[in-house]
Amino acid sequence: MPTVEFPYADENSKIFGNVKRPRTSIGVFSELDNDRIIVDDVPADTGADLTVLPRFIGELLVEGITNLRVCRNKGSVPASVLIAFIHKDIPVRIDKKEFKQAIAIAD
C-alpha cells in the first residue's frame, strides 16, 4: 500500500472537545463515466477495512449497486449495523498515489 500523508482538520467532539481529524479528497473511478469523480472532505481512517461511500456517490460509480455483494458492517457500536453493497477493486487516487480499493456503498 502506498504511503500518503493527510492534513488534519480541527473539529468538535462531544466526548473530547476540540480534536484533530485527518481529512482528504479522493478520486474514485466511475465505470459509468469512464473518469474519476472527486470526493472531498473524506475522513482518512487508515485502520478501516474498506471505504464507505453514500449511495448517491455510489450511483455515479457503478450500475446496479444493489446487485453487488451485501455486507453487514459493524463499527464501534456492535448493535448498530450498516447495510452496504461491496464492490472490489475500484481504482482510487489519494494525493498522487493510485491503488485499487474495496468500496462499500451504503444508504
pLDDT digits (tens, 9 = 90+) for 34-64: 999 999 988 888 777 888 899 999 999 988 8
**Beta carbons within 10 angstroms of residue 58's beta carbon:** 23
CA atoms of 84 and 7, how far apart (whole Å): 28
- Residue 49 has a pLDDT of 80
pTM: 0.77
Say which residue the cell 488534519 belongs to: 8
The pLDDT score that the predictor gives to residue 47 is 78
| Regions in the chain scoring below 70 on pLDDT | 1-2, 75-78
Looking at residue 1, what is its pLDDT? Answer: 56
User: 3.40.50.1820, 2.40.160.40, 2.40.70.10, 2.40.30.260: which CATH number matches 23-106?
Assistant: 2.40.70.10
At residue 56, the 3 state secondary structure works out as helix
How many H helices and E strands in the chain? 1, 7
Query: To which residue does cell 479522493 refer?
Result: 26
Q: Give the model's pLDDT for residue 45.
A: 83
- 3-state secondary structure (DSSP) of residue 87: strand
